[in-house]
Chains A and B, each alone.
Chain A
Amino acid sequence: MSPPDPVVDLRHVRKEFDGRSVLDGIDLSVEAGRFVSILGPSGCGKSTLFSVIAGLDRADTGSVDAPPCAYMPQKDLLFPWRTVLANTALGLEVQGVPAARARQTANDLFPAFGLDGFQDARPAALSGGMRQRAALLRTVVQGREVVLLDEPFGALDSITRSAMQDWLEDVWQRYRWTVLMITHDVREAVHLSDRVVVLSPRPARVVDDVAVTLPRPRGADRVTTPEFAEYERRLLASLRTS
């Protein structure tokens, strides 16, 4: 059985800013329905990689083959002048879907995202975890083939963060979006991913590519198993030697 065609396919992608190399020949391909994490030290160029995949920045050399992606930036960027529902429907409205229908589509996801009852609230009324879920809803509801998550839980406290990881794994198992997630948290990467791609410090190269085959869900009781720890050890070693 041959592997399915990749949805995202990067070949030898290089990118410089002001003469400084940020991406140094990245090869990366992602198959449909996979959850792939990009793990790397801070400032290694992960966000630039996403900009290239999302088409916000152009690669200097190399080929980028990616469908239109839904992008969730580090900041939740929920706009105070829109209700939570209107914020989550923004991507669809920009695509030209009539506002009423866009909001209906977004509204259907509110229960699964634990936001039911907050449709008409202002973002300021939401807690940190709820804001991230709303931002994620705004991202996935766009119906794009690939979802790019840039450190989605980076700003959350550790308790909320691990609850959000359990939750994200749960909704992902139900919807099976193709996800590319940036993180610098090894445990988060192992917990959520089918595959973890490790990048070197700037200029970024791929130094390791690990398939995580642990059974799902990998909630609180599994992160302490020896198999889980073994993955963490391997990824930490790759990060150190890079």
Chain B
Amino acid sequence: MSRPTDPPPPRRTGGLHPSRWAPSVILVATVIAVWETYVRLADVSPRVLPAPSRVAAQGWAAREVIAGHAASTLQVTLVGFGLALVVSWIIATAVDFSPRLRRAVVPLLVISQTVPIVALAPLMIIWFGFGIVPKLLVVALVTFFPTTVGLIEGFASADRESDRLLRSMGASRRQQFRYVRLPSAVPRFFTSLRIGITYAVVGAVFSEYVGATSGLGIYMSQQKNAFRTDLVLAAVVVTALCSIALFLSTYVVERLVAPWARGEEP
């Protein structure tokens, strides 16, 4: 019998090649070098602008205190974000099965984003106290929007032709969701997860800044009041490192959960 033998296309090469991250490392290193040089040459007061070397040294000296605060910030971030994800999945799945619900819910989602979180966060403390609850709510409130919209659009991104193919196979709406719409949403879900996780860290720090017993936010607030600019900046650096670590971890999870989605990465 005839069997057309045509070569398969070449595989994509991906991964964290140095050419991808080297430029940003060089840029950051340059900024730090200029900053250090300027502070030393102009003899700026460390209360106004401490040198990067001082930030590093003082931050390292206070590492145990900062690590303790970072741990509670991470806890608020992850639990709050987890809460947002649970709510997102429930809303997005329900909306996907009901066009009517979709028309009702999507405007509400947009309205929820117009609520100024700056005004709401202090009220949360009045309502729920200084414990973890108001902070979880702030984090969940700032993150559930991108993840919910990402999921709703992800489900809807399924090819119309795919729906027809599944229907021709005799698939129920639930089977269409399981076999096509759910997996179709994965690339967009991870994109919105990356947006959400960075919002989550900022939201956690902000909610602590307004009032808390521990956390990087309240630590920054205290150090600012003590004119310890160096320690404020050290906490900022730790916050950024936490964000970057969480951001990168989404790629690891994506690779484990959906190795086929690699091609969708920016």
Contact = CB atoms under 8 A, between A and B. Distances in A.
Contact of B4 (A73, A80, A114): A114
A127 B9 contact: yes
A128 interface: yes
Interface in B23-58: none
A71 interface: yes
B183 A56 contact: no
A45 to B, nearest CB: 16
Interface stretch (A26-34, A90-98, A192-200): A90-98
Contacts of A171: 1
Contact of B168 (A56, A74, A164): A56
B227 interface: no
B15 interface: no
A interface, size bucket: 35 or more
A142 B171 CA distance: 13
B170 interface: yes
Given A73-B164, A170-B1, A81 B8 contact: no
Contacts of B159: 75, 77
A81 B165 contact: no
B173 interface: no
Interface in A87-136: 90-91, 93-95, 114, 121-122, 124-130
B258 A81 contact: yes
A77 B176 CA distance: 14
Nearest to A118: B8
A95 B183 contact: no
B64 interface: no
B168 A69 contact: yes
Given A73-B165, A124-B263, A163-B4, A95 B258 contact: no
17 contacts: A51-B164, A56-B164, A71-B164, A73-B161, A74-B161, A79-B162, A79-B180, A80-B260, A81-B186, A81-B261, A94-B175, A94-B179, A114-B3, A127-B6, A129-B6, A130-B6, A166-B2
Given A54-B168, A77-B161, A164-B4, 19 more contacts: A56-B167, A70-B169, A71-B164, A71-B168, A71-B169, A73-B165, A79-B179, A81-B183, A81-B261, A94-B175, A122-B260, A124-B12, A125-B8, A126-B8, A127-B6, A167-B3, A170-B2, A171-B1, A219-B2
Interface of B: 1-9, 11-12, 159, 161-162, 164-171, 175, 179-180, 183, 186, 258, 260-261, 263
